[in-house]
Amino acid sequence: MYDYEEACPVSRAASVLCERWTLQIIREMLMGATRFSEFRQYLPRMSPTLLNTRLKSLEEAGIIARGKSPRKRATNTS
């Protein structure tokens, strides 16, 4: 992503969203993908390195937030 130091919010959004593969990532998020492996499955032609780069740029732009997924608790039966 290039930073043109635009003051216009539309220009700033376009500089993030118009990067190659970014809209496809957002589409997959809207369809329910939340894990890196899911994005890899649904976007098989995208390299893992580029996927990681795009996810980081979306996070830095404040468009997405990384979080831990809830784990199932093991029940103690003793």
Any domain includes 66: no
Any domain includes 55: yes
Any domain includes 42: yes
Q: Could you give the number of structural domains in the chain?
A: 1
Q: Are 16 and 26 in contact (CB under 8 A)?
A: no
Measure CA of the first residue to CA of the last residue in the chain; give whole Å.
Answer: 54
From 62, 68, 64, 54, select the one nearest 18 (Cα to Cα): 54
Q: What is the pLDDT of residue 11?
A: 81
Give per-residue pLDDT as tens, 11-68: 888 888 889 999 999 999 999 999 999 999 999 999 999 999 999 999 998 899 988 7
d(CA 64, CA 11): 18
Any domain includes 26: yes
Q: What is the pLDDT of residue 33?
A: 95
For residue 9, name the pLDDT band (cuts at 50, 70, 90): confident
- For 42, the domain range is 9-60
Any domain includes 40: yes
Longest CA–CA span in the chain (Å) reads 61
